[in-house]
Structure 1
């Protein structure tokens, strides 16, 4: 599976309310899945790092950057 396809699939799964962005609660679930551990402080830190435009949500482009940085 290509990275873009993987990101598209993850985004579709974790954007539970289908509003086109991943909010904080959806992000916690995503991080738990990717990192296999919970940790609110870690999630907050990662969220702020990848929420480049500081709109309190993660766009698909920001998620792509995060996955490349953290998971690959």
Structure 2
């Protein structure tokens, strides 16, 4: 499994604490493993709170709710 960088961890935590209401966010990741690693950063996404979409270039789009 690919682990998220410290910058990704801080960014995700800042989204969770700054938002008054939850909102959808988007990111592009090199692999499904990288996207899943990001989703598992606290706060972990629950069922229905993330979508991973494969791209033709081998990367994946990640749409997540936080």
Tell me the TM-score normalized by structure 1.
Answer: 0.31
Higher relative contact order (CA 8 A, sep 6+): 2
**Greater fraction strand:** 2
**Greater fraction helix:** 1
